[in-house]
Amino acid sequence: MKTRKLGKSGLEVSAIGLGCMDTTRPHAPVPDRNEMIAMLRTAVERGVIFFDTAEIYGPFINEDLVGEALAPLRDDVVIATKFGFNLDPIKRKNLGGLNSHPEHIKQMVEESLKRLNVDAIDLLYQHRVDPEVPIEDVAGAVKDLIQTGKVKHFGLSEPGAETIRRAHAVQPVTAIQSEYSIWWRLPEKEILPTCEELGIGFVPFSPLGRGFLTGKLAQNATFAATDLRSRIPRFQPEALKANQKLLDLLGEIAEKKDATLAQIAIAWLLAQKPWIVPIPGTTRLSRLEENIASAEIELSPDDLREINDAAAKVDVQGARYPEELDKMTGI
């Protein structure tokens, strides 16, 4: 697979990474641990070298799995993880709320290093901006960790543009991670221009719209109570039905390119900027290979114009998060 550099940092990763959250998802069907370890190792064989996890996933069990799966391949991969929630690593429980106090960051990094079975974290994100802790203090804590060799690069997830600037002034930010796809384009307003100005890479999560942009979800789809989509307005029946128009238009383009909807969605992201690296998640090898093949799809300026024109005709219905989660984002 082709590689890309995240902004001016010099951190080189595969053009498409792998979001690992679903490999330990709590809702049915619960993935088999051994199968997920095998899939992560197969991903490396196929050229994926950029893996994304977080302490909150589980909590902790996702880092455990990623650490075990990638230990034999450590020198070949880049592992990103995140801090920022109030978690108890001893009792392995989520205590609720955000926590980016410097002492907590340093404690959690020590625990993440053990779970990931690494000497240094390649890319460490603040998972959500903590309104109780100045971002300068957060960036300063990560700067200390970089100076001691426990962390290599600093990132932020779902921050606003001003937060990015303030953090970057203390410790250069390597990557911003936020949701971005054909059906969620708000980062284009302020975040992407800020990244371009400062030389920061951008890592879109949910590049397939949490499965919607694959075209595999029925208009009357239902989700388990433990599945976040069950609480997201955009995945309620009325919204799914209204948003089908976007899939119909993209389907015409996919047919012309002899590609799947998912591949067009990922290829569109790759075509936006050379420092954008999407991290679609999956638990199925067939989907992994489908996503990887997206890197080989070339979209011409005319193709991109056609996609943008199609998307502009659809007023996407429904918020991307339930209200309580939307409050945690700064974008």
Residue 43 neighbours by CB under 8 Å, 6+ apart: 18, 51, 288
β-strand 78-83 against 50-52: which pairing, if any? parallel
17: left (phi > 0), else alpha (psi -120 to 50), else beta? beta
**Cα 50 to Cα 79, 167, 184, 232, 281, distances in angstroms:** 6, 23, 23, 28, 12
Q: Is 57 a catalytic residue?
A: yes
Separate counts of helices (H) and strands (E) for the chain: 11, 11
Using DSSP's 3-state secondary structure scheme, residue 87 falls into strand
Residue type, 182: I
Choose the catalytic residue: 57, 125, 180, 321.
57
> In sequence order, what DSSP letters do the residues of 108-147 get, joined into one string?
HHHHHHHHHT-SSEEEEEESS--TTS-HHHHHHHHHHHHH
Start-to-end CA distance of the chain, whole Å, equals: 31
Using DSSP's 3-state secondary structure scheme, residue 52 falls into strand
**Which residues are known catalytic residues?**
57
